[in-house]
Amino acid sequence: MIIPETLIETERQSMLILLTGAAGFLGSHLTDRLLAEGHEVIGLDNFVTGDRENLRHLENNPKFRLMEQDVSNFIQVDEPLDYVMHFASPASPNPSSPLGYPNLPIQTLKAGALGTYNSLGLAKAHRARFLLASTSEVYGDPTVHPQSEEYWGNCDPIGPRSVYDEAKRFAEALTMAYHNVHGVRTHIVRIFNTYGPRMRLDDGRVVPNFIQQALRKEPLTIYGTGEQTRSFCYVSDLIEGIYRLMLTDEALPVNIGNPNETSIKDFALIINKLCQNEAGIITRYAETLGDDPQRRQPDITRAKSILQWEPKVELTEGLNRTIDYMRRKLGIPAGQE
């Protein structure tokens, strides 16, 4: 049978992709996007911080397979892979949650160091492309504002955030080395604060903490002065940026995030308003997180020019969708919180 040229082209465009951290918040949204684009996904996760519920809807999807494994061990895949994407890592800095990386310091260092080494080795062996999920944490507590990709960062190598920051900085260096020495086609995305459905309610980060407190009509706990800033990006915007980046030839790091900067105190007021919570806020100076970056805002000039990408979802719209998700998870009926 003669296969039409167009079909051959379609087949070639469908890739087999191994994604580490597929059960996580970002990993599961990325899995959905890759499947929607017609690719096949092998999702690797050891469920230390990932959640099986995030992948439940894919149980009978023939284009998705789960590989339950720790990314810091050697990864064996026999079928030819087209792409490896490394998203596995704890990501919450909050020591009061068992899922925060201060409580998983060695796992976090291993996921960023050995996990990147194994994922890059896999990509090299398969002549596959590679994308690293890096982070705005490589900029540490920045002295330059907003942060562009040229900024080198301000990190304490043994500080409370070092297990995450230094692992990701090492991961970036290793990715560039594989690109330069072995010619692996690599990409690095520096992800700024992202929020949305499937964030874990118990990981201690500001979005799930504040929304849960607001839905329960409790005061929102502000660590430190509340003057520190973040710039929050809705998950669908982030995934769009990553999908565009993975199809380019750009090897240098690209910031993806929303430049809409807000202080944590103002952020708390917005969430209280959206949840009609009148319990207000309380300031917990004692719980100030060590090395808490004081200002964070992405410069997305590169993403705009290379990817023709910029975020579209307004903060209140994204928060309303996230509040709906968390309300359902907590079993609080709409209007009765």
DSSP H or E segment with residue 66: strand 64-68
8 Å CB contact between 217 and 337: yes
Q: Which residues contact 8 (CB under 8 A, 6 or more apart)?
A: none
CA–CA separation, 49 and 80 (whole Å): 28
Q: Answer yes or no: 117 catalytic.
A: no
**Binding interface with ligand UDP (CB under 6 A):** 92-94, 193, 205-206, 209, 221-224, 228, 230, 264, 289, 292
Overall residue count recorded for the chain in this entry: 337
* CA-based R_g, the chain, Å: 20
Following CA atoms 142, 148, 153, 159 in sequence, which dihedral angle do they give, to the nearest 10 degrees?
60
Residue with smaller CB distance to ligand UDP, 173 or 282:
282
Residue with smaller CB distance to ligand UDP, 119 or 297:
297
Residue with smaller CB distance to ligand UDP, 124 or 265:
265
CA–CA separation, 153 and 140 (whole Å): 6
CA–CA separation, 88 and 121 (whole Å): 16
Q: From the candidates 83, 101, 117, 164, give the one annotated as an active-site residue.
A: 164
8 Å CB contact between 10 and 33: no
Residue with smaller CB distance to ligand UDP, 105 or 224:
224
Q: Which residues contact 75 (CB under 8 A, 6 or more apart)?
A: 18, 44, 69, 118, 119, 121, 122
Q: In angstroms, what is the minimal distance from the CB of 108 to ligand UDP?
A: 13
Residue with smaller CB distance to ligand UDP, 130 or 267:
267
What are the residue numbers of the active site? 164
